[in-house]
A and B are shown apart, each in its own frame.
Chain A
């Protein structure tokens, strides 16, 4: 169980640096192109227009550097070290834990345009950089800074950049981790605070660099002010046995218990969490990389309309950052066609509606 919780606290790493001796680490894209994924756990909490994204990076031994990239729904106001307790407390809340072993684990807790660097920070052995840019720009920045991008990276970076041009890169310096006394299995939780009106959880990125049949498993926790509407709509496994390979399964949907909220609020950086009236959702991703073509859109407003765009199910309008010049040209063209339509009537009016989408 100790091992299971340790794995559950680690985040699948999407990208590796070119000199990466720490090949035993989960989720790394190795120089030979192989990828070994581990189970991942993420908390996405949404309260007062702010998404709190908490995940953890595990030190698995070795020396050198490796890295990861995470798309974000908006520009973070801060990136801080998360509490050591939050993710494990959520696991404890939703998954049966042998009591004695639980206490043992408690003790072990732990492009076209250049990309714009928005934020830099260090957390333990992690060097974190938040970037703003299109998929090509961010990919170029990553390559120029020593990341070895797998062949599916160009498409996946564009997939995210169309919705949000914000990415967080993480460089894990294993040598520094060793120098700082981090032991194998020690995790570094990272807490990203993102003001946004459009919360979503990146899931497709978990399969980055993996063969299409490679399994991807993740535990996703949501804390919201009310029961959220989700897209894709998960299979409700609360009243039925979990079916392996079903993709996205809902395992828990209920008001968060007072004891859970009290414990979470006591952890570092979690004081923002209300002490009551919070809805807990626990989802399990259990699929393969080829089938994981979506993210998780969340409507926490009560309106019940999670965005298909946020879920990655329908294409987004290109961002101004990616297509500023083409967009202006297209807008001018559209205006010209519209004026022509007004001038000469129905024929060109029909053409106005047939113009290519921006």
Chain B
């Protein structure tokens, strides 16, 4: 059972390398930009702490996300359309890439995002039931 599941995860991870199937974030991927700011996010009891951020336009942020839970989580940054796409998507694993990543149980992962334009974005986890349980927060750019 476990090995079958791990095989499925591995296949999904390989598939994810070649295609971004869950939509495009309105935040600009900023991996090529210099990191101007690092923020730490803790996941505990399937909630993000802090659950809101505010950045000036043009800020490049390195999110360092520490998952203290014994279950896997995700950290997905984007607008409502991105969140909707992930909520209904079937991608079970997100290798770290700008604005979206899986944060396995008990690990710390980082992703870099540049917030180019003013507006409101969301970060959330879309594993089954997690978003509805309250695993989401707000990023205000402006």
Residue ranges of A at the interface with B (Cβ–Cβ < 8 Å):
17-19, 29-34, 65, 111, 135-140, 142-146, 148-155, 157-158, 209, 211
B residues less than 8 Å from A135 (CB atoms): 70
Say whether B2 faces chain A, with CB atoms less than 8 Å apart: yes
Say whether B18 faces chain A, with CB atoms less than 8 Å apart: no
Q: Is the interface of B mostly helix, strand, loop or mixed?
A: loop
Nearest opposing residue in chain B for A31, CB measure: B128
In the complex, A6 Cα to B130 Cα: how many Å? 32
Instruction: Let me know if B1 and A19 touch, CB within 8 A.
Output: yes
Partner of A139 from the list B69, B128, B130 (CB cut-off 8 Å) is: B69
Instruction: Let me know if A19 and B70 touch, CB within 8 A.
Output: no
Residues facing A in B7-26 (CB within 8 A) are none
Instruction: Let me know if B1 and A211 touch, CB within 8 A.
Output: no
Q: Closest CB of chain B to A222's CB: distance in Å?
A: 31
With most chain B CB atoms within 10 A of its CB, the pick from A18, A139, A144, A145 is A18
- With A19-B1, A146-B2 in contact, is A33–B132 under 8 Å at CB? yes
Instruction: Let me know if B70 and A139 touch, CB within 8 A.
Output: yes
11 pairs of residues in contact across A and B, judged by CB atoms under 8 Å: A18-B1, A19-B1, A29-B129, A33-B128, A33-B132, A136-B68, A136-B69, A143-B72, A153-B70, A155-B46, A209-B129
Known: A145-B2, A150-B128; 20 extra A-B contacts, CB below 8 A, are A18-B1, A19-B1, A19-B4, A29-B129, A30-B128, A31-B128, A32-B129, A65-B1, A139-B70, A139-B71, A140-B70, A142-B70, A143-B71, A148-B128, A149-B70, A151-B46, A151-B135, A155-B46, A157-B70, A211-B132
B residues less than 8 Å from A18 (CB atoms): 1, 5
